[in-house]
Amino acid sequence: MKREIFTEEHEIFRDAFRKFLEQEVVPHQEEWLKAGIVPRDIWKKAGDQGFIAPWLSDEYGGAGADFLYSVVEIEEMSRIAENGFALGLHGEVVMPYIDSFGNEEQKKKWLPGCASGDIITAVAMTEPNTGSDLQAIKMTALKDGDSYVLNGQKTFITNGMINDLIVVAALTDPTAEPRYKRMSLLVVEDGTPGYQKVRKLEKLGWDSQDTAELFFEDCRVPRENLLGPEEGQGFIQLMQKLQQERLVIAVGAVATMWTVLEWTKQYCEERSAFGKPIIKFQNTRFKLVEMYTMAEICQVFLDRLLVEHMKGADVVTEVSMAKYFCTEECKKIVDQCLQFFGGYGYMDEYPISRVFRDTRVTTIFGGATEIMKEIIGRNLGM
């Protein structure tokens, strides 16, 4: 489909980024999957070519481009089914916290390294007994002289082992009312005493992504590492940025739909059963038509939200709809496409099997489908 939101410059950038992926990422994907982690050198290579956070101001090492350049990157990463190299999380989820809420000193200290690939970031919200209910976190960051002392545990942290810098949600005033004023965001640098990367977690999918469990034990962080002018702003800061995080997830889901549909259509044209290509069977064609139609519907809705988001509009309700609906439909489409591959769809020699595993988590992270529906219901006055 022709998408009006992209200019010729966006498509030139897409070609350049696609070439980068084909040369620097695709040849190493199997190696990274077996290792369970992506090496640091790919981050540097991406940074050297300006592919990290292209939206970032040139003052801090970026290109000052619009958000659609980031969208292009997310779509192209989905095209090659690459989830271990968490460029979207680093550039479009974590770095915006520092860019939006950091002071000038913090931005100059951290953002250039983030853009160059020398600093890899993560964000720590989830705790072992706290998932989507962020106000229920228990980790504390209590003032002691010129420092905050962090104590607690975080889990399911993407880039958990490789990160150099992590934005941590913690309670700076555990008794404040209302509850949302208890939380603040602090930046913790790797190597800080008491910050422990305990273990890399084994998962159903995303095998090359180093998802980890973290401990903070009497971890002393300078008070100047607080994001924002004052304590108690963490929950509001998270809410402000979750719109973009969920939009990023929806972009990946829709791009994955197109990718697996392309693979499946080609396979159905080449694979024969009972003397003819399986695409010649009415059931196959009708199922493919239904899935292509759903992908078109999701794409049109998503593109409208991208335009609204770039204008600075509050589209939390609509983005919550997109996040839940696009990920759920992607899950269905990937499942149906795998069915058309038959036994080969279950074999790892075909990437559809890996995408099937990787897709499952998209209805969970960034806010589970049920939480999205709860947000939508509240915003609609239900």
Cα angle value 362/255/267 (rounded, 5°): 105
Return the half-sphere exposure (C-beta side, CA atoms, 13 A cut-off) of residue 176.
19
Residue 381 and residue 368: Cα distance in Å, rounded? Answer: 20
Q: Do 95 and 53 form a contact (C-beta atoms < 8 A)?
A: yes
Going by their DSSP bridges, the two strands 212-222 and 272-273 should be labelled as unpaired
Residue from 73, 82, 92, 245 carrying the catalytic annotation: 245
Active site residue 82: no
Peptide bond just before 112 cis, omega within 30 deg: no
CB 251 within 8 A of CB 360: no
Tell me if 357 sits within 8 A of 205, measured CB to CB: yes
Q: E strands within 236-339?
A: 272-273, 276-277
380: exposed, middle or buried (Cβ count in 10 Å: 0-12, 13-18, 19+): exposed
Place of tokens 């200290």: 109
Identity (one letter) of the amino acid at 309? Answer: H
Q: What residues act catalytically?
A: 245
